[in-house]
Chain A
Amino acid sequence: MSEQIKDAANNIIRIGDKFEKETFRYRKLFLLNQILLEIEKIENVFAKKKEHTVSWTERKRLLRELRIDPVHLEEAMEHKDIKEFYNGSMYGKIANFFFEPITKKVMHIFPQFTDRMHQQLMSSGMQILSNTYLSMLLFTSFLLLFVGSSLGVVIFYATSYAAGFFLGFVLAIISMLAFSLYPVYATMQRKKDLKKEYPFIVTHLAAIASTDIRSLPMFKALMKTKYSKSILLDANRVVNYVTIFGYSLPDSLKMTAANVPAKEICDLLIELAQKIDAGEDVKSYLNRKARTLIAKYRTKKAQKVLGYTNAYRETATVMKQLHFKGIYGLAILIATSIIVLDILYLTNGIFLPVLIGAVCIGWSPVVIDTYRSFEKNRKMEVEFFHFVHDLKKTQSLLKITKTYGTLDHYVKKLINQYRISIPLEQAMETFALDTENMLIQGAVATALETKKHGANIFDALDQVTTSKMTRHVLILRV
């Protein structure tokens, strides 16, 4: 006992020494907090009560009586700790180390500018504190001023030193403008994304609400969707406002709406808040809204351009899922060799056709793999759609007798896992991971989240998959 006290007291002295040498205000505050933690340790030594323990036989009897699986109990105890939290970037930390005092002064002198920047950062969804961002702006400009000036002096030493200094100055101004305008650009991108996904976000929410999940769990389930990353951020904000800050759900929705760049989503959140406040039926409201929006989207879809843009975006998403293979490297190597030989030896007449041919060779394995993945995903999703329909009808995995083409292998594995008493949740998670398909993973994750809040997993799976398939069919039908 006395060893713990001595350690804590020694730590206090050590921290005190550091405190005396420290000049930064926020570091001093951090060190004082450290001392408070050490004091808490000393107090805990005496406050510790004798823990009530049970014998091994009694524990076994209790587990059997209460029907608790010891492995599950251990897992549940482990999950009590929060393992993930926000961590700042290294560059941000360095910028703060050098420029935090100046940043604070700038924030004090130009409150309107910093408020606007804070607002833009919140809307853009960038996970960074406004003072860290401002420190990064100042630090980068400062670096570029010196690096640019030095380079400029070396480059223009024959003509004029002033031109060299001017280069550094111009680079610093450009970096300041880039840092100031980037949140505006990010906000615009997010707004575009949210507007594009709006009908499907409502359809997805309606599907979740159809499984008799209401209020907060609805947003927790929305967080599990694999599509539209922009809405994940807002769903996360709503959940954090309620669970961490303790606001009511309608207030959280209104506060989140204040920082959403897309007017449609903002209106949706406010309307949802009003419905929940008034105790009205959210399910029928969302269903009505989803039907209207999908009908509108179908009319809009008549414009072919939208279809081609969507197809391009979906192809890009599939390409991102590809893993690098040896054949890609070989194709790139061959293409690069042809291009180099083309540049060195070939004349003007066949230069361009050979160049185009080399680029085609370089890209061909990626294009072929993208097409294959696209086809495989499409087939798998159709089979999954049939599978969840059958599950909804039978309400049991063990009653599934049909075969499901490309998905059959995974379905059989799922059923076998369930048969050997692996919990349904765990088996479903493995199934989703095995398929490597975003739609299936998103649908399973959302359905499992709704199950945690009392929904029927098979009904939820069917509803969510239908909403996701609606999105897929509408987006990819050119």
Chain B
Amino acid sequence: MSIAVIKQQAQAIIDISYKENDKDTILHLAKTIKDKVLEERKKYV
């Protein structure tokens, strides 16, 4: 279920921003979430 993965990745973003504030990792995670959402979106359009 991709929405569960999306939630996990959002949680990962929170964890990283607490610990090291790694710009590249956060942006990579954001991009992955975006791709997954766009993929999920196709089912409902």
Contact = CB atoms under 8 A, between A and B. Distances in A.
A17 B10 CA distance: 12
A29 B41 contact: yes
B37 A29 contact: no
A10 B14 contact: yes
A39 B37 contact: yes
A74 interface: no
Nearest to B32: A39
Contact of B13 (A26, A29, A32, A42): A42
Interface of B: 3-4, 6-7, 10-11, 13-14, 17-18, 21, 23, 26-27, 30, 33-34, 37-38, 40-41, 44-45
A12 interface: yes
A5 B27 contact: no
Interface in A1-54: 1-2, 5-6, 8-10, 12-13, 16-17, 19-20, 25-26, 28-29, 32-33, 35-36, 39, 42-43, 46
Contacts of B18: 2, 6
Contacts of A9: 10-11, 13-14, 17
B17 A2 contact: yes
Contact of B10 (A1, A13, A25, A46): A13
A286 B7 CA distance: 62
Interface of A is mostly: helix
Contact of B44 (A32, A35, A42): A32
Nearest to A27: B44
B33 A35 contact: yes
Contacts of A1: 21
Interface of B is mostly: helix
B1 to A, nearest CB: 8
Contacts of B17: 2, 5-6, 9
A46 B31 CA distance: 13
Contact of A19 (B3, B26, B34): B3
Contacts of A28: 44
B21 A16 contact: no
Nearest to B14: A9
A36 B45 CA distance: 15
B23 A46 contact: yes
Interface string A264-290: 000000000000000000000000000
Contacts of A16: 3-4, 6-7, 10
Contacts of A36: 34, 37-38
A1 B21 CA distance: 9
The 8 closest A-B pairs by CB, nearest first: A12-B10, A9-B13, A16-B7, A29-B44, A2-B17, A9-B10, A9-B14, A5-B17
B44 A12 contact: no
B40 A32 contact: yes
Contacts of A17: 7
Contacts of B3: 16, 19-20
Contacts of A8: 13
The interface centre, meaning the residue of A33, A42, A43 with most chain B CB atoms within 10 A of its CB, is A42
Contacts of B38: 36
B37 A46 contact: no
Contacts of A19: 3
Given A2-B21, A5-B26, A39 B14 contact: no
B7 A12 contact: yes
Contacts of B13: 5-6, 8-9, 12, 42
Nearest to B33: A39
A20 B34 CA distance: 17
Contacts of B40: 32
A46 B41 CA distance: 25
24 contacts: A5-B14, A6-B17, A8-B13, A9-B14, A10-B10, A12-B6, A12-B10, A12-B13, A13-B7, A13-B11, A16-B4, A16-B7, A16-B10, A32-B40, A36-B37, A36-B38, A39-B34, A39-B37, A42-B26, A42-B27, A42-B30, A43-B27, A46-B23, A46-B27
A33 B38 CA distance: 9
Given A2-B21, A19-B3, A25 B33 contact: no
A374 B21 CA distance: 72
Contacts of B7: 12-13, 16-17
A12 to B, nearest CB: 4
Contacts of B4: 16
Contacts of B33: 12, 35, 39
